[in-house]
Chain A
Amino acid sequence: MSDVADRVKKIVVEHLGVEEDKVTENASFIDDLGADSLDTVELVMAFEEEFGCEIPDDAAEKILTVKDAIDFIEKANS
């Protein structure tokens, strides 16, 4: 697993208060991890902070799963 994936999962566990093993790459923040729309806004802010990147609103709307987040960040940082 990549370093980015580890860090993303750690943030998800901390912010959503879910068990680590539930945070699989295909897990949906809202459907599988109990997030609401405000939680997802905060998650995106936490990713921005952690990875020093900016995630515009239209891109943030498409980040629905753990994998979406990892892919976006890896692309943004490459």
Chain B
Amino acid sequence: MRRVVVTGIGAVTPLASGAQNTWQKLLAGQSGIKNIDTFDVSDIPAKIAGLVPRGQGDGLFNAEDHVSVKDMKKMDDFIVYGIAAADQALADSGWKPETDEDQENTGVLIGSGIGGLPKISEATELVNNGKTRRVSPFFIPSCLINLVSGQVSIKHGLKGPNHAVVTACSTGAHAIGDASRMIMLGDADVMVAGGAEAAVCRLGMAGFAAARALSTGYNDTPTEASRPWDEGRDGFVMGEGAGCVVLEEYEHAKARGARIYAEVGGYGMSGDAYHITAPAADGNGGFRSMRNALRNAGVNPEDVDYVNAHGTSTPLGDEIELGAVKRLFGDHSSKLSMSSTKSATGHLLGAAGAIEAVFSILAIYEGVVAPTLNLQNPSEACKGMDLVPLEAKQRKVNVALSNSFGFGGTNASLVFKGV
């Protein structure tokens, strides 16, 4: 089977625009979670979110750097974020296909968990108020999930496979895993893969709040709200943004002298077959997803140095994942480091798996693992494990595992290896 490596990374997150900008803030222990001031949350119990910092200047997100004002109305924010992360990843990789052959060998697979909820919400209001004729001709393409891949392909002339994944909070990981297989099987030599999300709007907040999934106890201290494994955790914090990687067939990358961050070592999937929102109580879905990824990568549990956990800061999910990790890794679970970067970014839903893949790749490339913020009172089950509390940690990482688990009981795990 052909080998697949990562040659470019991009990220737009609540911490910053740019993978390195985000990474530096993450390592410095900063949080991207703040009070929502862009729309009314007075009647919604959760009033905080991880919002992309906008403006001009280094690390701030300026949409017009990526999309013209004219085209902006043709896409909801998740598409704009996805295009930006793809622009960054492609620039970082130095891959600029210009011949027919190169363009046809380069594909895009960027997903989203939810898609254009804000635009759906706006258009619904028009229709319900008798203003059907005011619905924009761009409404449908502005909210369709596969239009991130579509827009990226149009902008960069990428004529290979054009696909999209929709698996809730596992989307980003599934996209990268599936795209790597397309390269392995010869459908493409290069794939731009990742996830994008921008569902922090009244409808999205009301929906997740109704499912009792969101943190509501830290509205006055937003940076403390996302606290995976901490006794005081009370739900996840919504986040927005996008993550993208450029995946490339190993010989193709080597031949053009590309920088190689890491290899996509393995990919595992599983289904819980249990409940629409709750993970199976015994953690068997996550367990099998991780086990399958290790098996696919041909690595033993004791080879894994770092786990980027799904760890959303919900009372139920965090400990179930922890239990699955302990079961899979046995004695080695006390030797590996595991952190949840959602403590700093919030939960980016369909983009989470993609930005967390970027953080896992950088852990390998730079030899440092990101911290779990706010982990002041670890629950009893955490004893004996290194959950990288509060501060980043220097550590050589040869093999990293990144977990993503989604509503519907859909699980994906990615293994990255140093090259």
Residues of A within 8 A of B (CB): 15-17, 38, 41-42, 45, 48-49, 54
B68→A38 contact, CB < 8 A = no
The distance in angstroms between the C-alpha atoms of A44 and B136, with both chains bound, is 11
Q: How far is the CB of B226 from chain A (nearest CB, A)?
A: 39
Given contacts A38-B138, A42-B138, contact A17 B133 (CB under 8 A): no
Q: How far is the CB of B168 from chain A (nearest CB, A)?
A: 30
B137→A17 contact, CB < 8 A = no
Main secondary structure of the interface of A (DSSP, over half): helix
Give the contacting residue for B69; candidates A17, A38, A42, A49; CB below 8 A. A17
* Nearest-neighbor residue (CB-CB) of A48 within chain B: B133
Interface string of B116-148 (1 = CB under 8 A from A): 000000000000000001101110010000000
Rank and list the top 7 A-B pairs by shortest CB-CB distance, nearest first.
A17-B70, A41-B137, A38-B137, A42-B137, A17-B68, A17-B69, A38-B138
Q: How far is the CB of A61 from chain B (nearest CB, A)?
A: 14
Q: Which residues of chain B are near A15, meaning CB under 8 Å? A: 70
Interface string of B45-84 (1 = CB under 8 A from A): 0000000000000000000000011100110000000000
B138→A45 contact, CB < 8 A = no
Interface size on B, residues (CB 8 A): 11
Residues of B within 8 A of A (CB): 68-70, 73-74, 133-134, 136-138, 141
A45→B68 contact, CB < 8 A = no
Q: Which residues of chain A are near B137, meaning CB under 8 Å? A: 38, 41-42, 45
The distance in angstroms between the C-alpha atoms of A54 and B133, with both chains bound, is 10
Q: How far is the CB of B155 from chain A (nearest CB, A)?
A: 16
The distance in angstroms between the C-alpha atoms of A20 and B141, with both chains bound, is 28
13 A-B pairs within 8 Å (CB atoms) are namely A16-B70, A17-B68, A17-B70, A38-B74, A38-B138, A38-B141, A42-B73, A42-B136, A42-B138, A45-B133, A45-B134, A45-B137, A54-B133
Q: Which residues of chain B are near A45, meaning CB under 8 Å? A: 133-134, 136-137
Q: Which residues of chain A are near B70, meaning CB under 8 Å? A: 15-17
The distance in angstroms between the C-alpha atoms of A42 and B72, with both chains bound, is 14
Q: Which residues of chain B are near A48, meaning CB under 8 Å? A: 133
Q: Which residues of chain A are near B73, meaning CB under 8 Å? A: 42
The distance in angstroms between the C-alpha atoms of A54 and B132, with both chains bound, is 13
Q: How far is the CB of A51 from chain B (nearest CB, A)?
A: 14
* Nearest-neighbor residue (CB-CB) of B141 within chain A: A38
Task: Pick from B73, B74, B133, B141 the residue with the most CB of A within 10 Å.
Answer: B133
The distance in angstroms between the C-alpha atoms of A16 and B69, with both chains bound, is 9
Q: How far is the CB of B382 from chain A (nearest CB, A)?
A: 53
* Nearest-neighbor residue (CB-CB) of B135 within chain A: A45
Q: How far is the CB of A49 from chain B (nearest CB, A)?
A: 7
Q: How far is the CB of B5 from chain A (nearest CB, A)?
A: 38
Q: How far is the CB of A52 from chain B (nearest CB, A)?
A: 13
The distance in angstroms between the C-alpha atoms of A17 and B67, with both chains bound, is 12
The distance in angstroms between the C-alpha atoms of A45 and B137, with both chains bound, is 9
Task: Pick from B74, B137, B138, B141 the residue with the most CB of A within 10 Å.
Answer: B137
Q: Which residues of chain B are near A17, meaning CB under 8 Å? A: 68-70
The distance in angstroms between the C-alpha atoms of A49 and B69, with both chains bound, is 20
Q: How far is the CB of A44 from chain B (nearest CB, A)?
A: 9
B138→A49 contact, CB < 8 A = no
Task: Pick from B68, B70, B136, B141 the residue with the most CB of A within 10 Å.
Answer: B70
A49→B134 contact, CB < 8 A = yes
The distance in angstroms between the C-alpha atoms of A60 and B183, with both chains bound, is 47
Q: How far is the CB of B348 from chain A (nearest CB, A)?
A: 30
Task: Pick from A15, A16, A38, A54 the residue with the most CB of B within 10 Å.
Answer: A38
Q: Which residues of chain A are near B74, meaning CB under 8 Å? A: 38
Q: Which residues of chain A are near B136, meaning CB under 8 Å? A: 42, 45
The distance in angstroms between the C-alpha atoms of A27 and B269, with both chains bound, is 55
The distance in angstroms between the C-alpha atoms of A44 and B156, with both chains bound, is 30
Q: Which residues of chain A are near B69, meaning CB under 8 Å? A: 17
Q: Which residues of chain B are near A42, meaning CB under 8 Å? A: 73, 136-138
The distance in angstroms between the C-alpha atoms of A52 and B162, with both chains bound, is 42
Q: How far is the CB of B150 from chain A (nearest CB, A)?
A: 14
Q: Which residues of chain B are near A54, meaning CB under 8 Å? A: 133
The distance in angstroms between the C-alpha atoms of A62 and B306, with both chains bound, is 63
The distance in angstroms between the C-alpha atoms of A41 and B69, with both chains bound, is 18
